[in-house]
């Protein structure tokens, strides 16, 4: 089940760390691609396989296969096949099947594979099942040993595709994802790496949630099956560690859009590698002292700085439906529920002892509830703030954080 979750969910994201995890989770593609070597340099097969296994071991994955073959497809392209592929992560082996590789080559920097196609995947455990189809990578590059690339990873690809993913409980769909794709452009001439992607459609069966209260509320508001789509875009400069996520929007049709933008510093390849190693250690030793793991993670996060962040919700009828639903439950009018919500905001923020923020948030919430368009919370500090200071402030003096981070709450802008 762990592999299925990584395949479906770790791939949905485009931050460099997530991209690296996506490459790991799609080990069936990028990882398996490299050992397949064309006859033109078959004499180097042992070296390529050794390099391949070393790269996989660095990512906590053991990979094996039973046979290597080839055939010519209908377009006349030579396709290399890896048959009987098995991947083992955290002592959990998964039978992958046959992986197809197209147009394998070699450069001074590494090995190239034009395309990597995986078989359909299906996993079942008790009443839970996961399936994935049309999984492929394009423009795959594996750096040779001793060759340092600018993005800090031995694995790179230009595009990743997942045609369809489906989760079922008791034979019924609870989540589907269609046409998820991510495109990467490597850094060139001092410019950052850019990335963009989308999931053209997803469906969440809220009417099948286990919690009866949440299930009833979703059904009453017309969200028994919530449909939507995902869009993302940003850039990353590995040399400086500057990461900018300009767009990460999740849209629910006839509901609204939850958007996130973020700009942080210190997100270097070294940081990504250290974080990955720490996560692998935590996964391998789940019973270790949680406090020690937390301190280690805290120490690692001290390398990051916050430059800016923004969370926004753009309404598309969800707010009105929530107010209407709560009003019906209480036997009153939606306007009365909105007024109650406005009155609660000052009391919720009073403990921060920040009159300016309380006034700002109260005005924004009131404006939004009167005319639901959009509401956002942003942080734009006058200078980058280390994450260590943010966490220390949250524990010792949370009332000072809004001013330190330049927090603003606005609506209908």
Q: Looking at per-residue confidence, does 312 or 80 come out higher?
A: 312
- Residue 285 maps to a domain: no
Question: Tokens 């593609």 appear where?
Answer: 29
Q: What's the pLDDT at 148?
A: 63
Strand residue runs (E) in 172-270: 172-185, 193-204, 226-237, 242-252, 256-265
In this prediction, residue 83 has a pLDDT band, given cuts at 50, 70 and 90, of confident
Range of the domain at 350: 314-411
Average pLDDT, the chain: 82
Report the percent of the chain where pLDDT is more than 70.
83
Same domain, 320 and 221: no
Q: How many CB atoms lie within 10 A of CB 65?
A: 20
Same domain, 148 and 210: yes
Same domain, 109 and 172: yes
- Residue 296 maps to a domain: no
Classify strands 128-143 and 159-169 as parallel, antiparallel or unpaired: antiparallel
Same domain, 139 and 48: yes
Boundary (domain end) residue, out of 207, 235, 267: 267
Give yes or no for residue 32 having a pLDDT over 50.
no
Question: Tokens 């997530």 appear where?
Answer: 18
Domain count, the chain: 2
**Mean pLDDT within 311-323:** 97
213 alpha-carbon distance from chain centroid: 29
Tokens of 248: 């990460």
Q: Tell me the residue length of the chain.
A: 413
- Residue 155 maps to a domain: yes
Same domain, 39 and 116: yes
Same domain, 200 and 332: no
Same domain, 229 and 119: yes
325 alpha-carbon distance from chain centroid: 32
Same domain, 162 and 68: yes
Same domain, 256 and 348: no
Q: How many CB atoms lie within 10 A of CB 141?
A: 22
pLDDT in tens, 268-291: 988 888 887 787 777 677 676 667
Give yes or no for residue 123 having a pLDDT over 60.
yes
Reference 99, options 120, 121, 113, 118; nearest CA is: 118
Same domain, 83 and 168: yes
Predicted structure pTM score: 0.82
Same domain, 233 and 319: no
Same domain, 117 and 262: yes
Write the CA distances from 152 to 31, 119, 189, integer angstroms. 16, 29, 17
């Amino acid at each position: 089940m762990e592999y299925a979750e990584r395949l479906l969910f770790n791939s949905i994201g485009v931050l460099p760390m997530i991209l690296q995890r996506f490459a790991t989770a799609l080990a069936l593609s990028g990882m398996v691609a490299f050992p397949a070597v064309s006859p033109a340099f078959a004499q180097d097969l042992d070296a390529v396989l050794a390099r391949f296994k070393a790269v996989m071991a660095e990512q906590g994955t053991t990979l094996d296969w039973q046979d290597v073959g080839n055939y010519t497809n209908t377009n006349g392209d030579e396709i290399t096949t890896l048959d009987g592929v098995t991947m083992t992560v955290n002592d959990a082996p998964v039978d992958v099947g046959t992986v197809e590789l197209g147009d394998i080559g070699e450069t001074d920097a590494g090995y190239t594979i034009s395309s990597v196609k995986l078989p359909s995947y299906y996993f079942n455990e008790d009443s839970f099942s996961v399936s994935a189809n049309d999984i492929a990578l394009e423009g795959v590059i594996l750096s040779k040993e001793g060759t340092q690339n600018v993005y800090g990873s031995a694995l790179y690809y230009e595009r990743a595709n997942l045609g369809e993913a489906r989760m079922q409980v008791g034979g019924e769909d609870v989540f589907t994802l269609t046409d998820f794709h991510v495109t990467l452009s490597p850094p060139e001439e001092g410019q950052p790496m850019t990335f963009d992607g989308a999931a053209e459609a997803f469906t969440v069966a809220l009417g099948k949630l286990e919690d009866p209260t949440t299930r009833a509320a979703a059904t009453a508001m017309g969200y028994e099956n919530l449909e939507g789509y995902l869009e993302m875009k940003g850039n990353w400069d590995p040399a400086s560690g500057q990461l900018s996520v300009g767009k990460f929007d999740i849209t629910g049709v006839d509901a609204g859009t939850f958007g996130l933008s973020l700009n942080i510093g210190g997100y270097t390849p070294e940081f990504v590698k250290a974080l990955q190693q720490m996560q692998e250690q935590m996964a391998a030793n789940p019973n270790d002292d949680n406090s020690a793991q937390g301190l280690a993670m805290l120490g690692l996060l001290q390398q990051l700085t916050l430059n800016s962040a923004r969370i926004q919700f753009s309404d598309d009828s969800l707010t009105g439906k929530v107010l209407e639903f709560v009003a019906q439950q209480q036997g009153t009018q939606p306007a009365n529920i909105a007024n109650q919500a406005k009155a609660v905001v000052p009391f919720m923020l009073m403990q921060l002892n920040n009159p300016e923020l309380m006034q700002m948030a109260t005005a924004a919430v009131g404006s939004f509830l009167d005319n639901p368009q959009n509401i956002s919370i942003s942080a734009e500090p006058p200078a980058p703030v280390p994450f260590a200071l943010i966490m220390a402030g949250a524990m010792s003096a949370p009332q000072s954080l809004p001013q330190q981070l330049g927090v603003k709450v606005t609506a209908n802008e």
